[in-house]
Amino acid sequence: MAAAHLPDGSNPGGPLMSVGAIFRTGRLVGDDDLKRLAGLRGDLDPLALRLALILMPYGQPAHLSAPTMHKADDLLRRWRRQVARWAQAPSRPPPAHLVGAARAALDHDLDTRRVVETLRRSESDAAAPDGAKFETFAYLDRVLGLELVRTSGAPLRVRRWPHPTGCPRGLTGCHVRRGQAQ
């Protein structure tokens, strides 16, 4: 592997990644277009763009649309909720066959789409303990960089609302949830 050099000839001392131009309907996309894309839905997570790009076929033009971005955002949020829930379970090692499949995908031209498919299989595996699912997602997120464990271990937040039938010990009603109050 050749040493990485910047256009000015300097060597940053590490790997250098070059990204091609981003085009939208035949014209170069500017900062205003990217801000508009990021603001499709007011609460869109910025890392949803990363997940949307991970889900695109490698080496082909990425066509990002509002439905694509919202689908990626919904998946990211669902996974974060699941990971936070799984984090409450006793830790278990990630299943070797899933880790092996993910490593094989990464060894094969950094195939992150297959890594995401591995996460989907882990999520839907009813036989896998929650602690193993947590460890699988935490392990593979180190490569994907989606901050899936961001809400794990978050402090308890309480949201109160009136309860029509009353609550034990005379409380007006409460709901306790880890992570963000909803």
What is the model's pLDDT at position 137? Answer: 95
- C-alpha dist (Å) from residue 72 to 51, 67, 77, 88, 105: 6, 9, 9, 25, 20
97 band by pLDDT with thresholds 50, 70 and 90:
very high
The predicted model gives 94-121 an average pLDDT of 93
> What is the Cα Rg of the chain in Å?
21
Q: What percent of the chain has pLDDT over 90?
A: 46
Taking alpha carbons only, the member of 64, 70, 55, 78 closest to residue 22 is 64
The predicted model gives 151-175 an average pLDDT of 46
d(CA 92, CA 140): 15
Tell me if 95 sits within 8 A of 122, measured CB to CB: yes
The predicted model gives 107-132 an average pLDDT of 93
Tell me if 167 sits within 8 A of 173, measured CB to CB: yes
* pLDDT above 90: residue 92: yes
What is the model's pLDDT at position 110? Answer: 86
On average, the pLDDT of the chain sits at 75
Dump pLDDT digits (tens) for 34-84: 555 554 556 788 899 899 999 988 778 887 888 888 899 999 999 999 999
